[in-house]
Homo-oligomer: A and B are copies of this chain.
Amino acid sequence: MNENGVLDALKQALRRLPGVGPKSAQRMAFYLLERDRDGARRIAEALSNALERIKHCQRCNNLSETDVCAICSAPKRDRSLLCIVESPSDLVSLEQSGVYQGLYFVLMGRLSPLDGIGPDEIGIPRIEQLLAEGAIKEVVLATNLTVEGEATAHYLSDMIRARGIRATRIAYGVPIGGELEYTDRTTLARALAGRRDA
């Protein structure tokens, strides 16, 4: 029953959202058209605005409306600290923790030679430029604990240390509130390896 070309087009388009399959796309399409046309209008407008106005910060590579983002241009941030993350959402999570006051660099990915993603693709030359400015005293590596994230951290750590700058890795272990019984063995191994004097 392909009587609704426009409706089918909407279902197809909604499948471009991450984690949305045919059933969810249909549910979303019907929901918006039946019950929230105002919401549909807002989504369409917000997408158009974002596409038009959001680009990458020239310094940290994060998504930004301005050439240099609010974090990079904030006078209060500690310019001797640089934290390297894989994605804008990682940056948001770290900001929400409220304890980090330095600057960031967003790789927009991770090293993955098999997929053709090398140092140039994740902006390593731009990190080298930032380090060359001389203000950064420590780089905090906050890539994810995946094979690629770890490889990226090792690569960066070598490159940073070669410039006589301190490279640190955020601690990985049992999450606060987590129970040993329900913690996976990789996390536990990491927690044990990273133990400190109590």
Q: Which residues of A contact B (CB under 8 A)?
A: 1, 3-7, 9-10, 12-14, 16-19, 23-24, 26-34, 36-37, 39-51, 53-54, 63-66, 69-71, 87-89, 92, 95, 108, 181-182
In angstroms, Cα B69 to Cα A4, docked, is 9
Pair B10/A49 contact, Cβ less than 8 Å? yes
Q: Give the one of A40, A41, A47, A70 with max B CB within 10 A.
A: A47
Closest partner residue, chain B, to A182 (CB atom): B23
Pair B13/A32 contact, Cβ less than 8 Å? no
- Give the chain B neighbours of A16 by CB distance below 8 A: 32, 36, 39-40, 42-43
Pair A43/B14 contact, Cβ less than 8 Å? yes
| Copies per complex of this chain | 2
Pair A43/B32 contact, Cβ less than 8 Å? no
- Give the chain B neighbours of A33 by CB distance below 8 A: 50-51, 54, 63
In angstroms, Cα B182 to Cα A42, docked, is 28
Pair B54/A7 contact, Cβ less than 8 Å? yes
Closest partner residue, chain B, to A2 (CB atom): B70
- Given the interface pairs A27-B89, A39-B16, A70-B3, the reply to whether A47 lies near B63 with Cβ below 8 Å is no
- Give the chain B neighbours of A23 by CB distance below 8 A: 181-182
In angstroms, Cα B92 to Cα A96, docked, is 43
Q: Is the interface of A mostly helix, strand, loop or mixed?
A: helix
- Give the chain B neighbours of A92 by CB distance below 8 A: 1, 26
Pair A19/B10 contact, Cβ less than 8 Å? no
Pair A30/B63 contact, Cβ less than 8 Å? yes
Pair A88/B34 contact, Cβ less than 8 Å? yes
Pair A43/B7 contact, Cβ less than 8 Å? no
> Which of the residues B17, B34, B49 comes within 8 Å of A108, measured between beta carbons?
B34
In angstroms, Cα B28 to Cα A19, docked, is 9
- Given the interface pairs A36-B16, A63-B34, the reply to whether A46 lies near B9 with Cβ below 8 Å is yes
Pair B43/A6 contact, Cβ less than 8 Å? no
Pair A39/B54 contact, Cβ less than 8 Å? no
